Chain A
Amino acid sequence: MTRSMTGAKMVVQALKDQGVEVVFGYPGGAVLPIYDEIFLQNDIRHVLVRHEQGAIHMAEGYARSTGKVGVALVTSGPGATNAVTGLTDALMDSIPIVVLTGQVPTFMIGTDGFQEADTVGITRPCTKMNWLVKDSARLPETIHRAFHVARSGRPGPVLIDIPKDVQFAQAEYTGPERMKPDHYQPRVKGDIDAITRLVEMLETAERPVFYTGGGVINSGKGASQLLRELVDATGIPITSTLMGLGAYPASGKSWLGMLGMHGLYEANLAMHGCDLMIAVGARFDDRITGRVKDFSPNSTKVQIDIDPSSVNKVIRVDLPVIGDVGHVLEDVLKVWKARGRKVNKDGIARWWAQINDWKKINCLAYEPSKTTIKPQYALQRLEALTKGMDRYITTEVGQHQMWAAQFLGFEDPNRWMTSGGLGTMGYGLPASIGVQIAHPQALVINVAGEASWLMNMQEMGTAMQFRAPVKQFILNNERLGMVRQWQELLHGERYSQSWSESLPDFVKLAEAFGCKGIKCSDPKDLDDAILEMIRYDGPVIFDCLVEKHENCFPMIPSGKPHNEMLLSADAEAFKAGAALV
C-alpha cells in the first residue's frame, strides 16, 4: 500500500514497519520535523539521552541483549560527530544499529551552514554502509535497506543522513513488503565439502580445541544451542574470546574460560598446544594471538566465519568455512552424526589430563586481604550473590573489565555487553541503560572503573528519567588501573598521568542525581552492601573502594606468545627484567 506523507512521517512509519519499539536520541534543529512526528504518536518510545555518544551505546546495549537492531536518532553537525565513537565501537564489535542523523537542507549542503558537517564523509569508515538521502521518494527504501544491511551477514552499524527539507517534503511511502529483493545477500550456508573435511579432522584430532567468539552470539540463540550440543557430544575443550562469553555456559564441563591477553592459563596453553583449532565466529584479534609467528605453532586451523575478510587476515587458516555460524554448526552436527559420531577418545582423554594439570596452577589466584577489598574478591561476591538471577552485565574498559570476564560466569548468550574491539571507556553506563530499557524487570549491572565511568556519567540523568534501575558497580582504585599496570610492568614504574585526582564523592553524586549511593571499603561489609544494591528499586551508584595497586593476571605481555604468560607470582621477576630497558 502506498500513501503520500512527509519525509519525517515516513521515518516514523518505516521504523514502526521495521518493528522498532524504542529509539535513543537527542533532538536538534535539523531533526525537528522527525521529533514532531515522534510527539504525535505513541507506538515508538523515545529515550532522551544526555549526550549523543550515550544514545549509540544504549542502542548497542539494546541490540546486544535482544538480538534486535538498535536505533538512535541525533541531529546534524555535533550530534553526528558525537555519534562517531559509538559507530566505530559497533563496527568493531559487529553490532547491528541504525543511526538516523539530521542534516542541513539540501540547498545549504556545502555552504558551511550552521551545524553542518559532512556526516556521510566523516562516518564512512566507521559504518558498514551509510547514505545521504536527497529525495524523500527514496527515503522509505533507504530505511528498509538500512535495517536489512545492519542485520544481514556480519552485522554492523549503518547511518542515514536526512536533510531537513527532505523531512518536510511529501512523497509516496512504500512499506518493507513492497521492497525489491536486495542484492546484498551474504552467503549463510557453508560449503558442504569443507564441512565434511572439518568433521574428518575433528574425528581424528588428538588435541582439539574450540575457539569461539562474538560471531556465535551474533548468529543468534540457536547457534549457541548447536555449539553446546557439538561441544558436549564430542567432549572437546572450548575457550572463548571476550566477545563470545555466554555462548557456551561457564558451568559446562568442557569450559576452559576466556583466552587471550588476560585469559586463563589453561585456555591459552590449550590454544598453544592443540593440534586442531576450530575457530567459530572469532577473528584472531591481536589481544588473542599474542606474537603472531609463535601463535599455536603445531595446529591445523579451521575457521567458521560469515566474513571472508576475517580469514587469513592475521593468522593463516588451513580450512576456512564461509557461512553463518548457526547454519554451519547445524551441518557439522548432521555430518558428524551421519558418519557415526566418531572422536579420538583416547587422544582427547590424554588432552584433558594435560589440561587438568594446567588448571592446577590456579591462575586466577590472588592474595586475599581482611582489611582491603580486592577487586577480584568484590567480583567473586557479586557473582555469588547474583548467581541464578535474571542478570545482565555491562562493563567499561580496563582492569575491572578483564576481572569481570574472569570472575563472572555467563550461562547464556546476550547477557554480557562489553566494548571488545574498540575498547571504549564510557561504554558501560549507557549500554546498561539500553539493556535495562529492553529488559525492564532484569537485574542490570555495569561493572565499572571510576575513570571509565566518569566519561559518560551524565547518562545517570537518563537512567533516572526513564526509571532504568541500573546498578553501577564501580571498582574504585583511584587509578587508571590498566594504564598503571602497564606502567608498572613495562615503563619502569613511571606512573605518568594514571591516577584519578579530584574524584567526586560518588554517594553525594548519586544523591545529586536523585538515586541511591552506596560506599563500601571494608570486605566485611561488602555482602550486605551488594545485597542492598540489588534490592534497591532504582538506579544505584556503588562506590566500591578497592586495593589501589592490584594487577590483573594472567597477562601475556604484548608481543609474547601464549606460552610466555605471566602469573602474579612472575610479576616481580618480570619487572626486574623490564626495568633494565
Chain B
Amino acid sequence: MSALNIKKGASSHSAYDLRDSHVEVEESHTLAVIVENEPGVLARVIGLFSGRGYNIDSLTVAEVDHTGHRSRITIVTRGTPAVIDQIEAQLSRMVPVHAVHDLTVEGPSVQRELALFKVAGKGDARIEALRLAEIFRAKVVDSTLESFIFEITGTPEKIDALAELLRPLGLRELARTGVAALSRGA
C-alpha cells in the first residue's frame, strides 16, 4: 500500500507540506480598500500583508469622507492570481473594511503618483536636467544656484523613467507618495 521510501532533505521531515512556491506568474494589482476611519485599521490591514507574507509595492491612505468616517487605502501588490484572490478575500472579511475593489481587473482605471526629485549640479548637467523635466512636464518647485526640486505627477512608470534619466545628472533625493487610483467612467 505505502511507498515507504523517504527522500533525503529537510522537507520530508518538516511538520508542514512544503509546496513549490511559484507555479504561476506574478501580476501587479492595484486594490482600493474602503475602511472605517478608526484607530488601528491601517495597522490591521498592513498586519494582514506582513502576517500572511503578501507584498506591498506601494500604499497610500487618507480620509476621504469625514462625516461618514471613511478612509481609502490604495495598495499596489504583487502575486499569482490565486494569491491576489486570497488577498482580496482576506481584506473583504475584515470587520472594519467596507469594500475592496481590484482596480486592475474591474476595468480601466486612472493611476497617479506624485514625486519630488532633488537634483544637484552645475553646468551642462543642470541644463540637461531642466530640459528633461520640461519634456516630462515636471514643475520646478524649488531652485538654488546648485539645485532644483522638480514636482511630477504621473503613472509610477513615468516616475521610474524620469528617475532613471535624472540619476546620472545628480539626483540626490526622491520622495514618492505612492499610487492613488480611481476606476474610469461614472
Contact = CB atoms under 8 A, between A and B. Distances in A.
Interface of A: 120-121, 124-125, 128-132, 149, 153-154, 183-184, 186, 286, 289-293, 307-309, 311-313, 316, 490-491, 557-559, 563-567, 570, 573-574, 576-578, 580-581
Interface in B27-51: 36, 39-40, 43-44, 47, 51
B89 A309 contact: yes
Interface in B1-49: 1-6, 8, 11-19, 36, 39-40, 43-44, 47
A125 B17 contact: no
B95 interface: yes
Shortest 4 CB-CB contacts between residues of A and residues of B: A309-B89, A129-B95, A308-B89, A577-B4
B93 interface: yes
B15 A564 contact: no
Nearest to A132: B39
Contacts of A184: 95
Given A124-B40, A125-B47, A558 B15 contact: yes
B5 A577 contact: yes
B3, B17, B89, B96 interface centre (most CB from chain A within 10 Å): B17
A348 to B, nearest CB: 25
Chain B contact patch, size range: 20 to 34
Interface string B96-116: 101000000000000000000
Contacts of A558: 14-17
16 contacts: A125-B51, A290-B17, A292-B17, A308-B89, A308-B92, A308-B93, A309-B89, A312-B85, A490-B12, A558-B14, A559-B12, A570-B2, A574-B2, A574-B6, A577-B5, A581-B13
A565 B4 CA distance: 10
Contacts of A129: 95-96
B177 interface: no
**By CB atoms of chain A within 10 A, which of B1, B3, B90 has the most?**
B1
Given A292-B17, A559-B18, A128 B95 contact: yes
B186 interface: no
B93 A312 contact: no
Nearest to B23: A293
B143 interface: no
A154 B93 contact: yes
Contacts of B19: 292-293
A581 B39 contact: no
A286 B13 contact: no
Contacts of B18: 559
A130 B43 CA distance: 12
A557 B5 CA distance: 12
Q: Looking at A132, A289, A570, A581, which has the most chain B CB atoms within 10 Å of its CB?
A: A581
Interface of B is mostly: loop
A286 B16 contact: yes
A454 B47 CA distance: 34
Given A490-B13, A559-B12, A309 B6 contact: no
Contacts of B16: 286, 558-559
User: Is the contact region of chain A dominated by helix, strand, or loop, or is it mixed?
Assistant: mixed
Contacts of A125: 47, 51
B56 to A, nearest CB: 16
A313 B53 CA distance: 13
B82 interface: yes
Nearest to B40: A120
A124 B43 contact: yes
Nearest to A154: B93
- Looking at B5, B8, B40, B43, the one whose CB has the most chain A CB atoms below 10 A away is B40
Contacts of A132: 39-40
A267 to B, nearest CB: 15
A576 B6 CA distance: 10
Nearest to B87: A309
A307 B89 CA distance: 8
A183 B98 contact: yes
B86 A313 contact: yes
A581 B95 contact: no
A312 to B, nearest CB: 6
B89 A311 contact: yes
Given A149-B95, A559-B12, A581 B89 contact: no
B93 A566 contact: no
B4 A153 contact: no
A565 B17 contact: no
B82 A312 contact: yes
Nearest to B15: A558
Interface in B132-157: none
Contacts of A566: 2
A124 B47 contact: yes
B86 A559 contact: no
Contact of B43 (A121, A557, A570): A121
Contacts of A313: 86, 89
A312 B44 CA distance: 22
Contacts of B90: 309
Contacts of A286: 16-17
A130 B17 contact: no
B96 A578 contact: no
B86 A124 contact: no
Contact of B14 (A130, A131, A307, A559): A559
B84 to A, nearest CB: 11
A153 B40 contact: no
B82 to A, nearest CB: 6
Contact of A559 (B11, B39, B47): B11
Contacts of B40: 120, 124, 130-132
Residue among B4, B92, B93 having the largest count of chain A Cβ atoms under 10 Å: B4
B6 A581 contact: yes
A499 B39 CA distance: 47
